[in-house]
Amino acid sequence: MSKRNKHYIQSIIKNSDITLIEGFLFLSIFILSLIVGSKYVGGDQKYYRIVYNQLRTYSLFKGYLYYSLSLDSFEVVHFLIDWIFCRILPKDLVMSLFNALLGVILYRLLRKWGADRFNALFIALTNYYMLVLYFAAERLKFGFLLFGIGLLSNDKKIKELFCSLSIFGHIQMAILFLAMKVETYFKALIKIFSRLRISKSILIGIIIIIGIFIIMSTQLVTKLSFYAFQNIKIMDIAKTMVFFFGSFVFSRNKQKVVYMYLPIIVATFIVGSFRTNIFAYFLMLYFCISNKKGYNLVIYSTNIYYSIMSISFLSQIFKYGSAFLSN
């Protein structure tokens, strides 16, 4: 057998292996979502279910008004998903499909960042923050879906497009978007002030960001006025800083770590760690998962800690119909 044919056969086996793993992951999350999702009937899900069932009686425009008033939310992506699918499929089935898709996207991202198969599978299946996205943070899930699709793309324009659109999935994705762009724009500002010139791409980027924030300004003001500076504690900052220091220690690009965590740390001061730690965690994965393919102290400790938290999370759902009793 020639080397060329041997290499071709090996590539087929490798690709089929990847397909099998991703198929297993998709099916596992889909089944888990159907089982757990049907039990999650309290908290925000109570209102999501009511809105989903009622949207079929409304036109697109009136449906959006009803959705916005009922959920106090202006995020377009979640509304469109609900409005389109409520006519043809049960809510739990729809969300289970999107959960499975999100799990596969995360798996591919972690592999792209340098994780081995086991670590990528383990995080997608057992991580607390993934379960939060699968079952509790329904609108945020679609923000992460769009952002993940953007990060997977090797095309810069597609990446920018989907990462920008993620903010329409959930306004809090602006934190992650800023984390991704802050280094670029900070360095661009230095060049602008030193040379009094601005590149076309930077100008377009600034216009897009301003445009998004103008469109989402109502939602942004509402969220900030409700959450800003409400009982922010030292522990809130400490939790975020744990992820920062873990990333700083294991990353080769220390400057990039500082730049990317800056918006998250600032946001934590304003709205608290409950709403920002999920971003800090995924940023930590980005910086640390490539170190020894994820077999390092930071990934070990967070995998153990968040898988234990997942058990408690699921237990709450089966006991009370909600993962967060305060809801």
Taking residues 61-66, report their average pLDDT.
96
Domain-embedded: residue 301: no
Domain-embedded: residue 312: no
Q: Give pLDDT tens digits for 116-148.
A: 999 999 999 999 999 999 999 999 999 999 999
Is 86 in a helix, a strand, or coil? coil
Return the structure tokens found at 101. Answer: 């898709």
Higher pLDDT residue, 304 or 9? Answer: 304
Is 295 in a helix, a strand, or coil? coil
Choose among 34, 86, 31: nearest CA to 60. Answer: 86
Specify whether 75 is located in the same domain as 187. Answer: no
Return the structure tokens found at 314. Answer: 């699921």
Domain-embedded: residue 318: no
Specify whether 92 is located in the same domain as 15. Answer: yes
Q: CA-CA distances (angstroms) from residue 71 to 43, 50, 79?
A: 12, 10, 10
Higher pLDDT residue, 179 or 231? Answer: 179
How would residue 266 be classed by pLDDT, with cut points 50, 70 and 90? Answer: confident
- 47 lies in which domain range? 1-170
Lowest mean pLDDT among 174-178, 226-230, 258-262: 226-230
Residues 6+ apart with CB under 8 A from 272: 227, 230, 231, 232, 233, 236
Cβ contact 141:133 at 8 Å: yes
Choose among 62, 65, 142, 43: nearest CA to 97. Answer: 142
Specify whether 191 is located in the same domain as 165. Answer: no
Q: CA-CA distances (angstroms) from residue 31 to 27, 140, 195?
A: 6, 21, 57
Specify whether 8 is located in the same domain as 99. Answer: yes
Burial class (CB in 10 A: 0-12, 13-18, 19+), 181: buried
Within 13 Å and on the Cβ side, how many CA atoms surround 266?
Answer: 12
d(CA 290, CA 155): 22
Sign of dihedral through CA atoms 136, 140, 146, 151?
Answer: negative
The CA-to-CA distance between both ends of the chain, in Å, stands at 64
Domain-embedded: residue 304: no
Return the structure tokens found at 246. Answer: 């873990």
Specify whether 82 is located in the same domain as 227. Answer: no
Higher pLDDT residue, 266 or 115? Answer: 115
Would you report the helix, strand and coil content of the chain in percent, each value rounded to 5?
80, 0, 20
In this prediction, residue 8 carries a pLDDT of 44
Count of the separate structural domains present in the chain: 2
Specify whether 68 is located in the same domain as 154. Answer: yes
d(CA 165, CA 218): 17
Domain-embedded: residue 126: yes
Specify whether 159 is located in the same domain as 19. Answer: yes
Specify whether 141 is located in the same domain as 251. Answer: no
Residue after which a domain boundary falls, among 127, 150, 170 = 170
Specify whether 11 is located in the same domain as 73. Answer: yes
Residue after which a domain boundary falls, among 151, 170, 189 = 170
Lowest mean pLDDT among 83-97, 98-112, 152-166, 257-271: 257-271
Higher pLDDT residue, 234 or 213? Answer: 234
Q: Give pLDDT tens digits for 36-61.
A: 999 999 999 999 999 999 999 999 99
Domain-embedded: residue 303: no
Taking residues 161-166, report their average pLDDT.
94
What size, in residues, is the chain? Answer: 327
Taking residues 215-221, report their average pLDDT.
52
How would residue 13 be classed by pLDDT, with cut points 50, 70 and 90? Answer: very low
Residue after which a domain boundary falls, among 154, 170, 186 = 170
Specify whether 178 is located in the same domain as 166. Answer: no
How would residue 9 be classed by pLDDT, with cut points 50, 70 and 90? Answer: very low
In this prediction, residue 252 carries a pLDDT of 87
d(CA 115, CA 138): 26
Calculate the average pLDDT of the chain: 86
Q: Which residue has the tokens 């504690």?
A: 233
Segments in the chain forming alpha helices (H): 3-37, 44-55, 60-71, 76-85, 91-113, 117-126, 128-131, 138-152, 156-169, 173-195, 200-215, 217-227, 234-250, 254-271, 277-288, 297-320
Domain-embedded: residue 91: yes
Cβ contact 181:170 at 8 Å: no
Specify whether 160 is located in the same domain as 258. Answer: no
Q: CA-CA distances (angstroms) from residue 140 to 8, 40, 134, 275, 320?
A: 41, 17, 10, 11, 22
Cβ contact 306:127 at 8 Å: yes
In this prediction, residue 326 carries a pLDDT of 54
Residues 6+ apart with CB under 8 A from 118: none
Lowest mean pLDDT among 145-154, 186-195, 264-273: 186-195
Domain-embedded: residue 319: no
Kindly state the greatest CA–CA separation across the chain.
Answer: 69
